[in-house]
Every structure is written in C-alpha cells, then in structure tokens.
C-alpha cells in the first residue's frame, strides 16, 4: 500500500498554483491545503499578483487555470509598485 502526500500551500496564488499542479501530477494526493480564511485571508489577498483569484468550487475542488505553463500570466503592473532599485 502506498503513502499519500498532501501539499501544504499556505502561500500566495503562485504557491497554490505550483502545488495544485504537483498534486494533479501525482495520483496519490487526496487533499490540497489551500490558504483561504476570509475575511482576513481572502482569495483576492492571496492571489493579488494573478489576473483573477483562483476559484474554489462549492464542493471544495479547484480546477487548474487553462493555458500553457501554470495557466496564468502575472500582473506585472501590480508587482511594479514593490520594485526596489
């Protein structure tokens, strides 16, 4: 009997996307821990660099974004205000 692995994704939206893709790549992942604890830790706060927040369906599942790579393009304008020269 094999062991299962559940990724700990208490990170930003990109951390969630990376671990979601890893979970999808392995057949033994029963759960994915997701940072979502509104109102303080909302999807919008977690995913501020993504074009749109990652949606959790009412049944608790998360569909990966469509598209190449991780399926998202970063909002570099949002990131620019944090640049250190």
Position 4 scores a pLDDT of: 65
Residue-wise pLDDT for 42-76, tens only, equals 889 888 888 888 888 999 888 888 877 888 887 78
Share of the chain above pLDDT 90, in %: 2
- Asked whether the whole model's pTM tops 0.95, one would answer no
Taking the C-alpha atoms of residue 55 and residue 67, their distance in angstroms, rounded to an integer, is 16
Classify residue 34 as exposed, middle or buried by CB count within 10 Å of its CB (0-12, 13-18, 19+).
buried
CA torsion 81→79→57→27, rounded to 10°?
-150
């Amino acid at each position: 009997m094999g062991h299962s692995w559940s990724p700990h994704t208490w990170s930003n939206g990109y951390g969630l996307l990376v671990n979601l893709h890893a979970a999808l790549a392995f057949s033994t992942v029963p759960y994915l821990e997701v940072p979502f604890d509104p109102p303080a830790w909302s999807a919008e706060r977690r995913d501020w660099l993504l074009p749109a927040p990652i949606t959790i369906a009412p049944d608790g599942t998360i569909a990966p974004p469509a598209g190449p790579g991780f399926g998202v393009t970063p909002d570099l304008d949002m990131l620019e205000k944090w640049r250190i020269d």
